[in-house]
Amino acid sequence: MIEFGHLTHVGLRRELNEDTYYGDSELGLWLVADGMGGHEYGEVASALARETIVREVRDGTPLAQAIRIADEEIIRASKRRNEALPMGTTVVAARVAGNRFEVAWVGDSRVYLWRDGQLAQLSQDHSYVQELIVQGAITNEQARSHPHRNVVTQALGVTDPQQLNVETMTGDMRPGTQLLLCSDGLTEEVDDGGIARILAHDECSAQECVDGLVAAALDGGGSDNVTVVLVRRH
């Protein structure tokens, strides 16, 4: 049995919520998208990503391909608007079929695996600071406060489809496994230790865990929109 919790919050310093999410146990699809762009264009881009990916997956398109199609659709919509600034969005998505999961991502929205009391980050941010970490120029700790920590190197609607790097990973979704999908509004304010402490409450429902994570992000400052989806296999 699959249980999931979900919540999005505008945060404490933004007027618009440009994040969006989706969850459907029957389809076995969950996603979080964090939009960016002037005015409300981030909202438009993240909603377009959600609608396109859900439609394509329903039609049987593989997850990574569905994300590529979303990139093309957002680019087309951007061109129609004729704005100077492109609209873009990150995306992180999970599919669960039987006892297997597949995750895919573009940008710096993340997916974590929680199992046997251990938290592991499955995704690797497509971001400027992540590239610096890989080069050994800065530490993970320094990345958390780096002035350019919000600069993504890949995003739907911004990255040319030929250059788009949709990363994927698969694994066992055995009972007790949990997948946490979140926008950077969570990870900006709550470090991995803080996330693990909340997920360690075994007696909590998936929704209670999600509520606790969003509350922790707001307590931390709530500098951005926060979106959290937690998928749990019983």
Q: CA 229 to CA 210: how far, in whole Å?
A: 7
The residue type of 4 is: F
What is the CATH classification number for the domain harbouring 44? 3.60.40.10
Q: How many CA atoms lie within 13 A of 108 on its CB side?
A: 20
Report phi then psi at 154, rounded to 5: -140, 135
Q: CA 104 to CA 111: how far, in whole Å?
A: 9
Nearest Cα residue to 190 out of 171, 210, 175: 210
Residue 82 confidence (pLDDT): 77
Q: What is the pLDDT of residues 149-201, one digit of tens each?
A: 999 999 999 999 999 999 999 999 999 999 999 999 999 999 999 999 999 99
What band does 37 get if pLDDT is binned at 50, 70 and 90? confident
Q: What is the pLDDT of residues 74-121, one digit of tens each?
A: 999 998 887 777 899 999 999 999 999 999 999 999 999 999 999 999
Output the six-digit token pair for 146: 């780096």
pTM of the predicted model as reported, rounded to 2 decimal places: 0.97
In total, how many domains does the chain have?
Answer: 1
Given a cut of 70, whether residue 130 has pLDDT beyond it is yes
**Is the sign of the CA dihedral 120, 124, 129, 132 positive or negative?**
positive
DSSP secondary structure letter of residue 176: T
Residue 81 confidence (pLDDT): 83
Interior CA angle at 170 toward 198 and 74, to 5°? 85
Show the domain range for 193.
Answer: 2-233
